[in-house]
Chains A and B, each alone.
Chain A
Amino acid sequence: MSAPLLRLAGVGKDYAKVETRGGRMRLVVDLLRGHEAADVFRALDGVSLELARGESLGLIGENGAGKSTLLKIIAGVIPPTRGTLMVNGRVGALLELGSGFHPDYTGAANIDLAAALLGLTPDEIDDKRDEIIAFADLGDHLDDPIKHYSSGMVVRLGFAVATALAPDILITDEVLAVGDESFQKKCVAWMERYLDSGGTLLLCSHSMYHVQKLCQRALWLKDGRPVREGASAPVTQAYLAYHEEKSQGAKAPMSGVAAAAAGVYAIQSLAVDPGETASQGASLTVRGEVYSPDGRAPVVLIGIVRADGTPVYGVATDMDQVQPTRLGADRFAFDLAFAALPLLPGKYFIRAHALDPEGVRLFDNVERELTITGTTRELGMVRLAHRWNGDEGAGR
C-alpha cells in the first residue's frame, strides 16, 4: 500500500489579533525573534486526516468554521502553526474566485500566469493551451482583462486551467456554487471522470448533495475543530440535523412528574423501541404510561416530527377508536407499533401528548430523539413505494 497522498496530524492555525500599529510592530519583532504572536485567534485546532490516492473527501461546516483555512494550508498558501502536514503529490487548488489571476491581465495572459504558478513548464503550457481555451469556452473575451469578466467567466477560466494540470490532488472550495447550470454540469462531469480515473478530490461545499454525490468521506468542522469524520452519508446527515435543530431551538424533554403533581393528565413514561437509533425501514414501537387524575382513560397523541419541528405524522388513540390499557386506578399504558417505518434518514423527535378523555385539550408533551440511519440519497422525509415503468427487468 503506497503512502497516503495527504496526511495531516494535529494541524492547527493561529492568527495574531493585532489592530494598532504598535501591535503590528510588536508582532514583527516577535516573528523576527522566532516566537509566535501572544494574542491569537484559533482558526484551526487538532485536525488530522489521511487521504489515499483515489479517495474523495468532503469538507463541510458553517461559515467561519475554518474550512478555507484548512484548504489553504493543504495547498501551501499558508503554513500551519501546529502539527504536521505531508503532501505527496501535485496539488491543484481552485480557491475562491480567480485564484492565480491578476485583474489587469487578459484572459490569455492569465492562463500563462496561472499555469506558471501551478508549476507547468512553458512547454507544458503550450501543449495544454488549446485544451484550456476549449474548456473555458470564452471566445473573444480571452483578450479582455479579467476585471471585465463576470464571476462565472472567471471560474470557468480558473477551472479550465486547474483541470489541465491533471493534479494528484484536486482541491476546490465552494467554486461549484458559481457558474451557470451548464458549467456546473461540465464541472461535475469532469470531476466524476477525474475520480473514476483514480484522481483524489478534496471538496469544500455547502451543498450536501454534491458532497454525498462526489465524496466517499466527509469531515465536519465547527469553530476550527473537527466534529465528525467518516463516511459522507452519516456525517452530512448529522450536519443537516444539527442545522435543523439550530433553526428550531432545542426542546428539552419535559418531565411528566411535575405535571402529575399539578393534577392534570400527564405522560408518566415514554420509551421508544429500538431506541435512539433505527435503520431505515425497521419497525418501531412507542410505549409508555399516562396518568389520569380522575380515573378516566385519557387520549394519547403520538407524533413524529423532523428535527426542525416539521410534522411528519401524528395519530391519537381516539382517531382509531382505541383506549389506553388500564393498569390501575389512575394509570394507563399505551403501545403504538409501526411495522416498517418508511422514514428517510435524518433526525426526528417522537412526541407523546396526553389529552383529556374528550380529546380536546392538550396537557403534556414529552419527547424522545430518534435518528434514522441509511445510505439512500432519496430526498424528503418519507419513502414512498414506487416503480420505474418501462424496463421490466429493473423494477424495485
Chain B
Amino acid sequence: MPATALPPDASTVVVTDRGAAQRRARDRALFGNFYRRELTTRYLGSLSGFAWALVHPLALLAVYHFVFTSVFRTSGFEGKSFLAFVAVALWPWLAAQEALQRGTVSLSSYAGLIRKVAFPHELVVYASIAATLTLQFGGYVAVLLVLRAFGEPLHLEGLLLAIPLWIVMAVAITGLALALASLQVFIRDVEHVLMPILMILMYLTPILYPLTLVPPDLRPWVAVNPFGWLVGRLRDALLDGRLAMQVDDLIALAVAVLMLAGGRWMFRRLSPHFEDFL
C-alpha cells in the first residue's frame, strides 16, 4: 500500500496498475536512486563534503580530548583512557545528530518531485538517513581501527555487537526523522528548534562522562535516556569485550520499533498534504 494513498474515509482511491511485488521492486529501485544521489551530492561529489563528514567528528573528538585531559585534567574513566571512552560514544551520537538534522529537511530538496509525481514520500527520508548512517558507520570503524593502531585497548570483536546496536539506533532515528520531516513541511521552525535541543541532549547523555559520575539522585533521569542505553552497550562491547545480550536490549529494541511505527503513522497522516505546502 503506497504511503500517499488512502486519505480519511470520505474518499477512496483504487489503483490497479501493478501488483504488490512490482510496486515493491519499484520502491526499491527508487530508494536506490535516492540513496546514491544523497551520497554523491553530499559526500562523494565534492572533496570538501567528504572531508567534512569525517573531519568534523574527528575535530570535535580532538577538542574534547584537549579540554578534558589538558584543561580539566581528567585521567580517564573506569580504567579506560578518555579518548577511547568518549570516541566509542561520541561518534554514534554525532552520526545520529546529523542523520536527524538532514532527515528533517530532506523533503524540501525533493519538493518538485513531490508536487508532480506520485511516489512514496517516505523513501526520501529513508534514503537520507541511510546515506548518513552508512557513511558514518564506515567512519566509526575507521576511527576504531586507528585508535587500536595507536595502542588504545579496544576489543574489536565488539563490532559484532556494534552492528546490531547501530541498526537499532537507525530504526529509532528513522522513526524520529519521519515525524520531524513531516512536521517540517508545515512548520519550518522544526529544524531550527532541533539543533539546540540536540546540543542540550548530548550533555544530558553519558557520552563525555560515565553514568557512575552522575549524583545518585539525578542518575535515574539521565539513565532513562535511550541513547544512554546505546552508548553503555557500545562501551560494554568495544571497551570491555562483553557481548552477551541483556534484558535491556529487548526493551530498547521494542522502544525503537515503537518509535518507527509512531513516526510512520504520523508521516502517513501528513504525507497526502505535502504537495500543498512544499
Contacts and interface: CB of A to CB of B under 8 A. Distances in A.
Interface of A: 11, 15-16, 21, 24-25, 27-28, 31-32, 34-36, 72, 75-91, 93, 95-96, 98-105, 112-113, 116-119, 121-122, 168
Given A24-B186, A102-B110, 4 more contacts: A32-B269, A80-B11, A116-B30, A117-B117
A85 B16 CA distance: 11
Given A28-B183, A32-B270, A117-B119, A98 B11 contact: no
Interface stretch (B1-9, B141-149, B224-232, B250-258): B1-9
Given A21-B187, A34-B8, A79-B7, A122 B113 contact: no
B26 A119 contact: yes
Given A31-B269, A116-B29, A103 B112 contact: yes
B269 to A, nearest CB: 5
Contacts of B17: 87-91, 119, 168
A83 B187 contact: no
Contacts of A103: 112
B219 to A, nearest CB: 35
Interface in B93-120: 110, 112-113, 115-119
A76 B33 contact: no
A327 B74 CA distance: 122
A77 B116 contact: yes
A13 to B, nearest CB: 9
Interface string B5-43: 111101111111110001001100110010001000100
Contacts of B25: 121
B210 interface: no
15 contacts: A21-B187, A24-B186, A36-B10, A72-B116, A72-B275, A76-B2, A77-B118, A79-B6, A84-B13, A86-B14, A86-B15, A87-B13, A91-B17, A100-B117, A116-B33
Contacts of A77: 4, 115-118, 275
Contacts of B6: 79
A36 B29 CA distance: 33
A186 B11 CA distance: 39
B49 interface: no
A87 B13 CA distance: 8
B106 to A, nearest CB: 13
Given A31-B273, A79-B272, A91-B17, A105 B29 contact: no
A116 B26 contact: yes
Interface string B42-74: 000000000000000000000000000000000
B266 interface: yes
A161 B51 CA distance: 37
A112 B33 contact: yes
A87 B16 contact: yes
A80 B15 contact: no
A68 to B, nearest CB: 10
A334 B37 CA distance: 80
B272 A35 contact: no
B14 A81 contact: no
A36 B12 contact: no
A76 B4 CA distance: 8
A101 B33 CA distance: 13
B189 interface: yes
Contact of A102 (B7, B112, B273): B112
